[in-house]
Amino acid sequence: MGSPVAEVAVAAEVRTLPRITGLSSRLLTVPLLRSWGAEAPENHVIVTEIQTDDGGAGHGFSWTPTIGPQAVKALLDFDVAPFITGLEANPEGVWDELWKRLHEAGGGGLTTIAMAGADLALWDLQARRAGTSVTGLLGQRQDSVEVYGSGVNLHYSLGELVAQVERWVAAGHNAVKIKVGKPDLREDMERVAAVRKVLGPHRKLMIDANQRWDLPATFRALDVLGEFGLEWLEEPLRADDLWAYRRLRQHSPVPIALGENLHNIYRFRDFIEAGAVDIIQPNIIRVGGITPFRRIVELARTHSIRVMPHLLPELSGQLALTMAEPTLVEDIEDASFEQLGVLDAPSPVQVRDSLLTLTGRPGLGFAFSGSSADHQNRNAL
C-alpha cells in the first residue's frame, strides 16, 4: 500500500485537472496539388479547439479526403461539444465516455472521425500543460522513423507513374507504394514491372488495390504480380469481408495489409484473431484519435502483428516515434498539411533523406490557418 501522504497527493492532483468549458470547430477545404482522381479532388480538415476552466486550450483536428466533412462538423458541434462540456480534460476518460454516448449512431466512420477531433485536442492540451510535445508526453522511443513514398496514382499514365517513382528514389526513399487494379491485369503487370526496374532489387515495393478485386481476381493478380518481390498487398478485397481475407491469407505468398477502413479496436481484434492479416494500418483519425490508436497498437503487439499507420504523416509520424516496434510512415507526394498550405506555422515534423524527425513544437504542434474563408481566399489569389 502507498503512504497516506502519497495517496492524498495523487488525489489532489486528480482534483486539479481542469474541466472542459467548450469545444469549437471550423472547416478547411483545400484542393490537392496532385489529383487523387475525379472522386477525390480535395481534402477536408475540421480544426478543433477545446477550452478549459483554467484558461487552457488544446488544438486538434478531424480529417476526411472525400465524404462527410459537414456531417463530422455537425457531430462535433451538436453532439460532442455539449456532451464533453463539464468533463475533466482527461483524454482517455473523455474518449470512453464519448464512445458510450455516440456508438449507437455508428460503430465507426463519421462517429469515430468526429471523436478524433476532441481526442487530439485533449492530448495537445495535456502535453502543453506538461511543457512538452505529445510524443514526449507518451514517451519517445525512436529518434527517427522511415518514411515511404506513396501516391494515389492508378489514373497516372505509365510515364507519369515511372516519373513519380524516380522522384521518390531521388529523394532517398527505400520503400514505395503504388496503386493497382486496372481493368486489364496485364496493364498492372506492366506498371509493377516498370516500377520494380526503377527501384532495383533492394528497395521495398508495396501495392494497394483499394478494395477493387474479389477473391478469385486477387489470386489471379498474385500469380502474376507476386514475382516482383512485394513487401505487402494492401486491401485487395472489400474491407469488411473477414471470411475472404482469412481465406486469402491462408494461401497468399505475399503479406496481407489492411486497416484504413476498420474503425474500432473490435474489428481489428476480429481480423487479427481470425488470422486474416499480416500488417494492420489504422488511420489515427478514422479510429477516433490517439487514445484508440495506442490501444490498437498494443493489441497488435501482443499478437506479433506489424503496424503501419495510414496517411497523415505529420500526425502518424509523431505516434510512430513512440512505438516499440519498427514501422514505416506513409507520405503521399505533395499532400502533407504543410505542402497543402493549411498551416500558419512550420510543421511539427520534418522529413530528410526519407527519415522523419520532430521539430520540437509543443503539444501536437499544429497551427492551422485562421479560418476556412481566409484560407479559400488565399488559394483564390
Four-residue CA torsion sign, 243, 249, 254, 255: positive
> What would the grid cell of residue 322 be?
513512440
> Of 73, 179, 263, 375, which is the active-site residue?
179
> Of 44, 177, 263, 310, which is the active-site residue?
310
Phi, psi of 330 (to 5 degrees): -85, 130
What single string gives the DSSP state of each residue in 202-260? TSEEEEE-TT---HHHHHHHHHHHGGG-EEEEE--S-TT-HHHHHHHHHH-SS-EEE-T
Query: Do 245 and 270 contact (CB within 8 A), yes or no?
Result: no
Q: How far apart are the C-alpha atoms of 29 and 45, rounded to whole Å?
A: 6
Q: How far apart are the C-alpha atoms of 64 and 29, rounded to whole Å?
A: 10
Q: Is 375 a catalytic residue?
A: no
Q: How far apart are the C-alpha atoms of 150 and 167, rounded to whole Å?
A: 11
Q: Is 197 a catalytic residue?
A: no
Active-site annotation, residues: 179, 310
